[in-house]
Structure 1
Amino acid sequence: MLFWIVLAVVVALALVVLGVVGYGTFGAFGRLGRELEAAERDVRPLLEQAGATAARANALGERS
């Protein structure tokens, strides 16, 4: 009888630990997604400026 009680407690603790690990992992993926979106918003103007500069340099190169 004691064996079944101990087994039930061990299984319950294992499920709690797995739940905490899963919650932390999915939370980290959500934070990572938000950080990537914010970084993309920060870098987008620089990419647009670099593209415009490259286009202008290409146009000047064709005129020469």
Structure 2
Amino acid sequence: MSGMVKHFIASFVNLFCLGNFVIGTATYVLMPGQVSSPIPEGSMMLNIGIFTAIVTVINALRRVQTG
């Protein structure tokens, strides 16, 4: 597997996990009565995944252009 693919996968996984942690924790702390678990719902995870994929692709393209 090329270094670029490994970087893309690692970046996506790291950003996705970080996004889920931050959003889940913030929601759980700021709205304790409305949320029963700090794990985001499926639709929120989908939005985080789409945003993470876009950011990861942009970072990968920037790395290719500068490297």
- When normalised by structure 1's length, the TM-score is 0.44
Q: Which has the higher contact order (CA 8 A, sep 6+)?
A: 2
Whichever of the two has the greater Rg, that structure is 1
